[in-house]
């Protein structure tokens, strides 16, 4: 005998079928729509201070504003300059290591005190021009990336220069040999050792004190970037400029390795390509702006600030390049190698393998 469901049972079964259809639709929607309170991941970016000028305002900030679209990232990018964040008094590298941000603009001279491996990008005397500095950065970048991943869980994304650190003097000089006996303002221990090898007397002074110190003769010379020197009106207190870079003021970008590993391979490729493009732009800009600032300081070119000066530009001779190279080999590199090898055994050997051939031994 065939048992037929009653009208009530048929209605109940129909309701179950309809409910199953609704639940299936909900499940499909859940698979593609984030749950309430759960949003797409956002990258927290800590940038350069806003007061550093064009590199931050013309290049960095616009870059991060469009990075999510450029790289096809799943979420938005939240960018904040260092001096407008609650990290203003700290080190961006530390914030990145602690997982408080996902990407940070790293000042190597600052962060290198705790992680000397970073300083290998810009050792005093290693890259005395933009071309050699770029070659060193390109050669050392993969080494630095590998070491940062292993030691700190950080992915290195690229390096760029603020600008060359060159010599300004209030007394006549014709080259580095003339620094013997002169008091020279320095900003770090490795630079102090290098200028001391020329016979100069290194003097540690804060940037804010330098203009007055030059004006009254507390120091005879100072090392500064041309753009910053003009902004601080150092040419008012000096007479000669020797445009041989002691360093290039290298900075860089780095990212949490956990965040990096969470990206798809295509997103990683596009992200690296985007940062490489930014690198190229800033390298070109820094070289161009340094040349313009020197021309402004010597009164031989147009000045963006409207203020030109009358410094005498001292030609850079082969003897100067040789002195700086020897100072690098005898003082700058050995001092850094000792610190870096203590922190990361094998650090200096890795640098030598990647970069050594780019720095002639004599």
CATH number of the domain enclosing 133: 3.40.190.170
pLDDT at position 65 over 90: yes
pLDDT category at 302 given cuts 50, 70, 90 is confident
On whether residue 323 sits in a domain, the answer given is yes
**pLDDT confidence tier of residue 16, bands split at 50, 70 and 90:** very low
Same domain, 110 and 63: yes
H and E: helices and strands count for the chain: 14, 11
Residue 112 resides in a domain: yes
Beta strands in the chain (DSSP E): 43-47, 77-81, 103-107, 154-161, 165-169, 183-186, 201-204, 221-224, 240-247, 250-256, 312-313
Are residues 244 and 254 part of one domain?
A: no
Region 166-184 average pLDDT: 98
What confidence tier does 31 reach under pLDDT thresholds 50, 70, 90? very low
Q: Is the pLDDT of residue 5 over 80?
A: no
123 and 193 share one domain: no
Q: Is residue 357 part of a domain?
A: no
Q: What is the mean pLDDT of residues 32-42?
A: 51
Same-domain check for residues 70 and 218? no
Answer yes or no: is 27 within a domain.
no
Expressed in angstroms, the distance from the first to the final Cα of the chain is: 107
Residue 136 domain flag: yes
The verdict on 177 and 305 lying in the same domain is yes
Query: Which pLDDT score, from 0 to 100, does residue 90 have?
Result: 81
Q: Are 213 and 285 in contact (CB under 8 A)?
A: no
In a domain? residue 143 = yes
Give the side-chain half-sphere CA count within 13 A for 286: 28
Tell me: do 98 and 209 sit in the same domain: no
At residue 336, the pLDDT reads: 97
The whole-chain average pLDDT of the chain stands at 89
Percentage with pLDDT > 90 across the chain: 79
Torsion of CA 243, 244, 246, 250, to 10 degrees: 70
- Which pLDDT score is estimated for 227? 94
What mean pLDDT comes out for the span 154-165? 97
User: Is the per-residue pLDDT at 60 higher than 90?
Assistant: yes
In a domain, 7, yes or no: no
* pLDDT, mean of residues 34-47: 69
State the sign of the Cα–Cα–Cα–Cα dihedral 21, 25, 30, 35. Answer: negative
Q: What is the average per-residue pLDDT within 151-158?
A: 97
Q: How far apart are the C-alpha atoms of 175 and 104, rounded to whole Å?
A: 39
pLDDT exceeds 50 at position 3: no
pLDDT above 50 for 37: no
Which phi and psi angles does 148 have, rounded to 5°? Answer: -65, -40
Other Cβ atoms within 10 Å of 15 Cβ, number = 10
Collapsed DSSP state (helix, strand, coil) of residue 271? helix
Question: Does residue 217 sit in the same domain as residue 309?
Answer: yes
- The verdict on 128 and 268 lying in the same domain is yes
At 274-289, the pLDDT tens digits run 999 999 999 999 999 9
- Predicted confidence at residue 29, as pLDDT, reads 35
156 and 277: one domain? yes
Mean pLDDT of the 10-17 span: 47
Predicted pLDDT at 39:
52
Tell whether 201 and 229 lie within a shared domain: yes
HSE-CB of 328 using CA atoms within 13 angstroms: 23
Domains held by the chain: number:
2
Domain that holds residue 303: 165-248+293-346
Residues in the chain: 362
| Per-residue pLDDT reduced to its tens digit, 218-274 | 999 999 999 999 999 999 999 999 999 999 999 999 999 999 999 999 999 999 999
* pLDDT of the residue at 38: 45
Residue 8, domain member (yes or no):
no
In this prediction, residue 307 carries a pLDDT of: 83
334 or 359, which is more confident: 334
Residues 233 and 262 in one domain: no
Residue 7: predicted pLDDT: 52
Q: Does pLDDT of 115 surpass 60?
A: yes
Q: Which pLDDT does position 14 carry in this prediction?
A: 52
Sign of CA dihedral 300, 50, 142, 357: positive
Same structural domain for residues 91 and 151?
Answer: yes
The more confident residue out of 33 and 343 is: 343
């Amino acid at each position: 005998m065939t048992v037929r469901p009653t009208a009530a049972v048929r209605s109940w079964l129909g309701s179950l079928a309809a409910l199953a259809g609704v639940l299936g639709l909900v499940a499909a929607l859940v698979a593609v729509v984030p749950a309430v309170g759960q949003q797409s991941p956002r990258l927290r970016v800590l940038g350069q201070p806003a007061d550093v000028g064009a590199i931050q305002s013309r290049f960095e900030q616009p870059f991060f504003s469009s990075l999510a679209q450029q790289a096809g990232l799943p979420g938005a990018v939240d960018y904040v300059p260092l001096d407008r964040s609650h990290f203003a008094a700290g080190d961006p590298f530390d914030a990145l290591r602690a997982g408080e941000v996902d990407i940070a603009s790293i000042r190597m001279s600052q962060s290198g005190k705790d992680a000397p491996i970073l300083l290998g990008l810009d050792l005093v005397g290693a890259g005395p021009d933009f071309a050699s500095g770029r070659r060193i950065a390109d050669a050392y970048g993969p080494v630095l990336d590998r070491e940062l991943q292993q030691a700190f869980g950080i992915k290195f994304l690229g390096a760029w220069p603020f600008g060359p650190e060159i010599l300004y003097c209030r007394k006549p000089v014709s080259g580095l040999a003339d620094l013997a006996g002169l008091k020279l303002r320095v900003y770090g221990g490795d630079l102090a050792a290098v200028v001391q090898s020329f016979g100069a007397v290194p003097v540690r002074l804060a940037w804010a004190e330098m203009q007055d110190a030059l004006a009254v003769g507390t120091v005879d010379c100072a090392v500064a970037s041309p753009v910053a020197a003009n902004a601080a009106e150092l040419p008012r207190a000096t007479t000669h400029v020797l445009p041989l870079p002691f360093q290039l003021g290298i900075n860089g970008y780095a990212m949490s390795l956990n965040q990096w590993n969470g990206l798809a391979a295509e997103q990683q490729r596009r992200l690296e390509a985007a940062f490489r493009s930014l690198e190229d732009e800033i390298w070109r800009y820094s070289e161009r702006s340094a040349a313009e600032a020197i021309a402004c300081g010597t009164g031989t070119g147009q000045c963006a600030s409207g203020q030109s000066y009358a410094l005498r530009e001292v030609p850079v001779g082969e003897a100067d390049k040789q002195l700086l190279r020897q100072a690098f080999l005898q003082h700058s590199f050995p001092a850094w190698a000792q610190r870096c090898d203590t922190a990361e055994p094998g650090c200096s050997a890795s640098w030598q393998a990647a970069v050594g051939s780019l720095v002639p031994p004599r």
